[in-house]
């Protein structure tokens, strides 16, 4: 029963961070929200009992977040219009 409540809570947080990432005006804030979404996905996969998928998501989340931050640094950082 506790697992179901934890899963519903994690899914609610994932929806919140996903919508926040979509509507963020600052690109760095959007990248941070995307990273938080990836972390919450890792916790969700661990709650569901699949550590292999969680590890893969963690690696992909770190690599893609690093790629986005480097790309943002190379271009003129600003807000989306």
Q: Tens digit of pLDDT for each residue in 4-41?
A: 999 999 999 999 999 999 999 999 999 999 999 999 99
Quick one: average pLDDT of 50-58? 96
Q: Tens digit of pLDDT for each residue in 7-17?
A: 999 999 999 99
pLDDT of residue 80: 56
Kindly report the pTM of this predicted structure: 0.86
Helices (H), 1-81: 2-23, 27-47, 51-74
Which residues 6+ apart lie within 8 Å of 57 measured at CB?
A: 38, 41, 42, 45
Task: Tokens for 74, please give them.
Answer: 């190379």
pLDDT surpassing 90 at residue 1: no
Query: Where do the domains of the chain lie?
Result: 2-74
Measure the CA–CA gap between 38 and 65, rounded to whole angstroms.
9
pLDDT of residue 46: 95
């Amino acid at each position: 029963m506790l697992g179901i409540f934890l899963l519903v809570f994690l899914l609610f947080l994932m929806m919140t961070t996903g919508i926040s990432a979509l509507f963020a005006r600052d690109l760095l804030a959007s990248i941070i929200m995307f990273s938080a979404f990836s972390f919450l996905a890792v916790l969700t996969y661990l709650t569901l009992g699949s550590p292999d998928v969680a590890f893969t998501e963690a690696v992909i989340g770190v690599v893609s977040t690093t790629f986005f931050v480097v790309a943002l640094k190379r271009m003129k950082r600003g807000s989306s219009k």
